[in-house]
Amino acid sequence: MLALDEGSSSARAVIVDVDGVIVSEASAPIEALHPQPSWVELDPATLWEAAKSSILKAMAKIDASAVDILAVGLTTHRESCLIWDRATGRPVYNALMWMSKQTDEIIARWTTDGMDEEIRRRTGLRNDSYFSAGKLVWILENVPGVREAAHTGSLAAGTVDTWLLWNLTGGKSHLTDPSAASRTAMFNIHEGIWDRELCARYGIPMELLPEVVASNAHFGLLDSSLLPRGREVDIPIMSMLGDQQAGLYGQACLDQGAAKNTYGTAGVLTVNVGTEPVIIDGMTSSIAWKIGDNTAFEAEGVVFHCGQTLHWLRDNMGMIDSIHDSGKIAGSIADNGGVYFVPAFAGLCDPYWDRQVRGAIVGLTLDTGAAHVVRAGLEAMAYQTRDNVDALIRGGIAVPSLKVDGGAIGNDFLCQFQADLLGIPVERPHGLERTALGAARMAGAAIGLWNGVSDLHESWQLERVFEPKMSADQRDSLYDGWSQAVAGARSIRPRA
C-alpha cells in the first residue's frame, strides 16, 4: 500500500506491506508564502512537486515500482483551498492556507449579515477565516476574471486533497470525501451534501465544487506516467481522508468516545462521537469518515500553534538547536519558574475562537533563563490540549484516556506532563506515524486486503502508558496559572 500524507510543512509518502508494517517512507519540504502580514499561501505547483518527490523517494528506498503497489491512500491537511483551470490544470492563484487571515473582512461581512448561527447549525463549524468558504470567495472577488469563469464550469475548486487527486489521476478525478468537505463551511453535515443555500449566500457557484463520495470509494486510477513500470498495472486510489480523521482511524478510534490528540504543526484533539453529530460549545463538529453508507462523526478542538512553537523557538529565537532537544532542556530545571507561553501567533482557536489575540510570554523575572521559556513552550502544548479536553467534558463527553500521535510525542517530558495535567493515562502507540497509516489501512480494507475493524484494532499496539503522577492541587494550580496567562494575552488587543 502507498499512502501520501501532505501536511502544512511537508509531504510524506509511506509504503506499508501486507502485514501492515511501514517498510519505507520519505518526505519533501513545503514552504509557505507570506505576501503580506497575516497572509499565508502555498504554491500549488510546490504542493504537487513535493508529493511526487516523496513518493518516488520512498519507492526508490526499497527499489519498488508500480507493479508492487496494490492501492493508494491519500490524506492531507485541511481547510486550505484553491481554484484551477480544468483544461490546463493551472491554478488561477495560490492556495490560501488554513491559518491565513486575508479573508477576515469577508468573515466580518457574513457576521454583519447575520449568518453566524446558520453556518454553525448547518455545517458544525464557525464563521471564521480558518475554514475554506471565505478563502474561495476571496479568490473569486480578488482575482480578475475568475468569478465570470466560475459560472461557466471551466474552473475547478477544492481543498488540497482534491488538488492532489486531480494531479495523481492526470486530471480525470475531481472528487473529495465527507471528512474534508465537512471542514469547508460549505457542507451540510446533517444531510451529507454541499449546502446549496449557504453557497448561494456566499456567492460560490456550485459548478466549482468537487463531487463528494465515501472515504473508501474508488477515487480513480493513478496516472501511469508517475511511477516506474506504471503502464504495466492499474493502481486504484481507494481512500481519501482529512489528516486528523486519518489519524483518528489510524489510532483505531472506531468506537464512540475514543479520543486522540495529534501534536503536529497544529495540535488537534479529536473524539469519535458516533453516528450523529454532536455540537459542543467551543469545538467544531465534523464528519470523521464515511465508509460505504455508514457515517461516523467527530468533535474536534484545534490548536493553531503546537509543534510550530518549537520551530519558532529554534528558528526565530535560537533557544534550541533541534526540536529533539526541547524535552532534555525542559527537564533540566525543576519547574517553569512561573513562566507561561501563550503561542497565539495567529490568534487562539478552540475553545476560545479569538483570532485577534497575539502571542505572549508572561511571568518573566531576572532569574528567568532560556530553559524556562523552552519549557513553557513545551508545556503550552499540553495546556492547550487540556483546554479542549475540558470543553469535551463540559459538553458531556467523557475522556477516560487519551491516545497521542504526531512528531512531538517521542518527547517523554511532554507525554508525562500531559498525563499529569489531565489526570488520565496518556497512551503512546508503537510507531508515531498514524495519519498515513490510517489512510493506508482504509485503502487496504477497501480492496479486501484487511478487515477494516478487527485488523485495525489488532494492529494498534501500545508502546507506553504515561500515568498521571501529579497531585490534583498542583495540577489545578499550574492550570490556573495558564488560564491567567491566556486572559492576560487576550486583554491586549493589536493595533489596527
Q: What is the DSSP string of 425-489?
A: -EEEESSS--HHHHHHHHHHHHTTSS-TTHHHHHH--EEEEE---S-HHHHHHHHHHHHHHHHHH
Average pLDDT, the chain: 92
pLDDT of residue 216: 96
The whole-number average pLDDT for the span 274-291 is 92
Q: Which of 4-13, 91-100, 468-477 has the lowest mean pLDDT?
A: 4-13
Contact partners, residue 210, CB within 8 Å, separation at least 6: 156, 157, 158, 162, 174, 175, 176
Q: Is the pLDDT of residue 40 over 60?
A: yes
Top pLDDT among 304 and 216 is at: 216
pLDDT of residue 496: 57
pLDDT of residue 473: 95
Q: Is the pLDDT of residue 339 over 60?
A: yes
Residue among 356, 447, 462, 445 nearest 405 (CA) = 462
Q: Is the dihedral of CA 270, 274, 277, 278 positive or negative?
A: negative
495 band by pLDDT with thresholds 50, 70 and 90: low
Task: Give the type of residue at 91.
Answer: P
Residues 233-245: tens digit of each pLDDT? 899 999 999 999 9
Share of the chain above pLDDT 90, in %: 71
63: alpha, beta or left, given left = phi > 0 and alpha = psi -120 to 50? left
- CATH topology assigned to domain 2-241: Nucleotidyltransferase; domain 5 (3.30.420)
476 band by pLDDT with thresholds 50, 70 and 90: very high
Q: Which of 135-139, 156-160, 228-232, 332-336 has the lowest mean pLDDT?
A: 228-232
Residues 372 and 330 sit within 8 Å (Cβ to Cβ): no
**Residue 143 DSSP label:** S
Q: Is the pLDDT of residue 85 over 90?
A: yes
269 band by pLDDT with thresholds 50, 70 and 90: very high
Q: Quick count: other Cβ atoms within 10 Å of Cβ 98? A: 25
Domain with CATH 3.30.420.40 in the chain: 2-241, 252-433+461-496
Residue 125 cell numbers, joined? 463549524
Residues 280 and 395 sit within 8 Å (Cβ to Cβ): yes
Residues 398-438: tens digit of each pLDDT? 888 999 988 778 889 999 999 999 999 999 988 767 788 89
What is the CATH number assigned to the segment(s) 252-433+461-496?
3.30.420.40
Q: Is the pLDDT of residue 265 over 90?
A: no
Percentages (nearest 5) of helix, strand, coil residues in the chain:
35, 20, 40
